[in-house]
């Protein structure tokens, strides 16, 4: 019987320290790829190697995670007061696998690896993460936003290592395959179609510009993003923070996969979209708007249809419109692709509590738009 190849697990200084060709082979065509992680300033990754090179790798991040992050509205306000009264109660050190700046947990696995070898490499990665969390004093190790079909092979191994599956925010995706603008509008309910057409009349007063870079307007882009963040009805703490120079760096480091759509009202930049491009989809990554100007000109609806048009004209059948702000996305025909966080606490007693409380800790349970959507469905979950 042939001996299994020896594995070596190590923390490396970011995805950029791994061979670009090995990473790209695991995620061909991915817009949030090797260059994207470098643009985001990712400076830590975990990797497993054998004598042929990279077997498995994943980006890492660290933060002080607030246990009340999933809560919104009045529940969040109560938890905030409790956390302020008892410092340290709500904030736990967290070692995260993935990135706050992606909607998918990228675990790179060598193509063609057998299920047994894949599970063995993952076990080596988990041992490394446990040792690293012990070294840094982090209570939690979290695989953030594991999407299907990755959950199919990750979940059994993570479950065997006492990770709890906790619902994350689903990703909204609009299917546009084989459709033109008229066909898309016809697919909407009569009331939604009428409302959208009415709002699109504002298009006449808006000048739309497509760019690959933001030279000369970077400060305005940052301000519009912050304006939209402050106007949001939901809060997800440090997960909403962007590193300094994020928009400029993404544009500079992957120009062929980045597009900014700018919305001008007169001489004023009233809104922008950052779009990431991959062969099968347009990813509407970030939206920033000036208030109240954007509402006065219905720029959300105008930008939505501009992105639909661009996706169709560039022959990309999917428009991925992200997490949060689900009300309009669902009304405009999006489906929800599920996402899961896998969580382990290094304290055994607390880990059992987390596993039991997993349904209550799920981010998708507390999102107000999702709660309203599910309350209207006859098959809604409890």
Which domains does the chain show, CATH number per domain?
8-168+338-375 (3.40.630.30), 172-336 (3.40.630.30)
Q: Is residue 171 a contact partner of residue 341, using CB atoms and an 8 Å limit?
A: no
CB atoms within 10 A of CB 230: 9
Q: What are the residues whose beta carbons fall under 8 Å from the beta carbon of 342, sequence distance 6 or more?
A: 142, 143, 146, 154, 155, 158, 163, 164, 165, 166
Closest CA to 342 of 95, 132, 80, 24: 95
Q: What are the residues whose beta carbons fall under 8 Å from the beta carbon of 78, sequence distance 6 or more?
A: none
pLDDT band, very low/low/confident/very high, at 83 (cuts 50, 70, 90): low
**257 DSSP assignment:** G
Q: Is residue 46 a contact partner of residue 130, using CB atoms and an 8 Å limit?
A: no
Specify the pTM: 0.91
Q: What element of type H or E holds 340? A: strand 339-345
pLDDT band, very low/low/confident/very high, at 271 (cuts 50, 70, 90): very high
- In the block, residue with structure tokens 């989809």: 281
Helical H segments across 200-264, by residue range: 218-231, 246-253
**103-141 pLDDT per residue, tens:** 999 999 999 999 999 999 999 999 999 999 999 999 999
Q: What are phi and psi of 251, to 5 degrees?
A: -65, -40
pLDDT of residue 123: 97
Mean pLDDT of 59-78: 75
Higher pLDDT, 230 or 294: 294
- Look over the chain and give the mean of its residue pLDDT values, rounded to a whole number: 91
Burial class (CB in 10 A: 0-12, 13-18, 19+), 292: exposed
Q: Examine the pLDDT at 193 and tell me if it is beyond 90.
A: yes
Q: In the numeric block, which tokens belong to residue 51?
A: 């004598």
């Amino acid at each position: 019987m042939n001996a299994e190849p020896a594995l070596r697990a190590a923390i490396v200084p970011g995805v950029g320290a791994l061979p670009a060709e090995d990473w790209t082979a695991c995620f061909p065509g991915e817009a949030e790829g090797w260059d994207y992680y470098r643009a985001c300033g990712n400076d830590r990754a975990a990797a497993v190697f054998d004598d042929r090179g990279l077997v498995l790798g994943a980006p890492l991040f660290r933060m002080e995670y607030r246990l009340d992050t999933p809560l919104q509205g009045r529940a969040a306000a109560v938890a905030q007061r409790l956390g302020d009264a008892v410092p340290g109660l709500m904030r736990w050190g967290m070692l995260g696998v993935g990135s706050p700046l992606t909607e998918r947990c990228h675990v790179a696995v060598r193509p063609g690896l057998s299920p047994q070898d894949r599970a063995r490499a993952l076990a080596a990665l988990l041992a490394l993460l446990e040792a690293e969390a012990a070294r840094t004093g982090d209570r939690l190790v979290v695989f953030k936003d594991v999407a299907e079909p990755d959950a199919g092979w990750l979940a059994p191994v993570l479950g065997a290592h006492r990770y709890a599956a906790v619902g994350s925010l689903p990703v909204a995706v609009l299917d546009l395959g084989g459709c033109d603008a008229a066909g898309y509008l016809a697919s909407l309910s009569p009331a939604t179609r009428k409302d959208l057409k009415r709002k699109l009349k504002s298009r006449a007063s808006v000048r739309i510009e497509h760019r690959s870079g933001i030279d000369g307007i970077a400060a305005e882009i940052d301000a519009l993003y912050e304006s939209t963040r402050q106007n949001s009805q939901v809060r997800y703490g440090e997960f909403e923070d962007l590193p300094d120079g994020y928009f400029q760096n993404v544009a500079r480091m992957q120009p062929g996969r980045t597009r900014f759509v700018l919305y001008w009202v007169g001489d004023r930049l009233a809104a922008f979209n950052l779009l990431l491009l991959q062969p099968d989809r347009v990813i509407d990554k970030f939206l920033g708007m000036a208030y109240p100007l954007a509402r006065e000109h219905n720029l959300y609806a105008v930008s939505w249809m501009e992105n639909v048009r661009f996706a169709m004209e560039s022959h990309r059948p999917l428009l991925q419109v992200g997490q949060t702000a689900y009300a309009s996305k669902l009304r405009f025909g999006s489906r929800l692709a599920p996402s899961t966080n896998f969580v382990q606490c290094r304290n055994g007693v607390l880990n059992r509590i987390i596993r039991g409380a997993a349904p209550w800790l799920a981010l998708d349970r507390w999102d107000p738009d999702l709660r309203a959507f599910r309350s209207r469905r006859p098959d809604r979950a409890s």
